[in-house]
Copies of this chain bind each other. A is one copy, B any other.
């Protein structure tokens, strides 16, 4: 029922080829013919069928976004930016959550190929299992990794320098006189936290401080309990804490409350990731804010450049610095 190029051509009294040339501005068409085609197209309400176009040209102009969880604030905001920037360039954004499972990542990549998607922006589910991503790239799909760098594996990456993030958070605390810092993280090998922990730990040791590593697990309640236990131990009490992600921040604050301690007066706290409510906590949280929008913007632009072939140089590896925002949860060691 929709009107096709054929219809437009007929209405304008030209051949399909001429109609196509007029509509897509290529080859040469006489001014008169072009005008008639355009008019006919407008009159009939013609819109090009992207599916047919895609089948013929081999380009669906669809970019896939594959984060661990599109519901998480960090990824959601990136999706927002991606969708805006890509749309302007005529692309559509398809999303799925990988649930941080490599298996799902693989199967989604399969279906991408079947759908002839030319680009993938992915937050790799795993640090080491990425052959499927490399294979995808070798087969001609543009791949950009975010959140976790795969540049060493030959894949363009836009990330936050998590090592520096950890180091900067620690440096702030050290400058305030703290020497024993608690680093709180969920597990040893998930996501960006290992780098953060390393960065913080090395900064602390370099300053002659001591590191209290608290591995609290991925469950909020359990993490709270574990943190309580560790903080209650009288030996080597930390005077400042760095929870390495949002969940750990929650657990840490909950634990501090349970122990009837006070943030800032009893314990300084630097959290990761800013959030509007962080300002409303009492005291407002000092945080390391990741440049989320920047990452989204860069990933989208890079993807577009790769797809349009405007950029063919070697692997891009952009690491953005997180920003320290000092608010009320950190104070001089007393």
Q: Which residues of A are in contact with B by a Cβ distance under 8 Å?
A: 2, 47-52, 54-55, 60, 62, 69-73, 75-77, 79-81, 83-84, 87, 92-97, 108, 110-111, 113-116, 246, 250, 253-254, 257, 275-282
Partner of A276, one of B47, B95, B96, B250: B250
What are 23 A-B residue pairs whose CB atoms fall within 8 Å in the complex? A47-B114, A49-B114, A49-B116, A50-B111, A50-B116, A51-B51, A51-B54, A51-B60, A55-B55, A70-B79, A71-B77, A73-B73, A79-B79, A80-B97, A83-B97, A87-B96, A92-B96, A92-B111, A93-B94, A253-B280, A275-B277, A277-B277, A280-B281
Interface of A is mostly: helix
Given contacts A254-B280, A280-B281, contact A51 B55 (CB under 8 A): yes
Q: How far is the CB of A95 from chain B (nearest CB, A)?
A: 5
Identify A282's interface contact among B2, B49, B81, B282, CB under 8 A.
Answer: B282
C-alpha gap A318/B112 in the complex (Å): 34
In the A-B complex, the 5 residue pairs with the closest CB atoms: A71-B80, A76-B76, A277-B277, A71-B77, A50-B115
Chain B residue nearest to A116 in the complex (CB): B51
Q: How far is the CA of A250 from the CA of B246 in the complex (A)?
A: 19
Contact of A280 among B2, B72, B250, B279 (CB under 8 A): B250
When distances are taken between beta carbons in the complex, the residues of chain B under 8 Å from A108 are: 87
User: In the complex the two chains form, what is the Cα distance from A48 to B111 in whole Å?
Assistant: 9
Q: For A92, list chain B residues within 8 Å (CB).
A: 94, 96, 111, 115
Known: A69-B80, A71-B80. 19 other contacts (CB 8 A): A47-B110, A49-B114, A50-B116, A51-B115, A55-B55, A62-B94, A72-B76, A75-B76, A76-B79, A79-B79, A80-B97, A92-B115, A93-B94, A93-B95, A94-B94, A246-B276, A277-B281, A280-B281, A281-B282
Give CA–CA (A47, B109) in the complex, Å: 12
Identity of the chain B residue whose Cβ is nearest the Cβ of A81 in the assembled complex: B71
> Do residues B83 and A70 form an inter-chain contact, with CB atoms below 8 A?
yes
- A115, B94: Cα distance in complex, Å: 13
Instruction: A305 to B84: give the CA distance in the assembly, Å.
Output: 30
Q: How far is the CA of A281 from the CA of B94 in the complex (A)?
A: 36
C-alpha gap A204/B276 in the complex (Å): 30
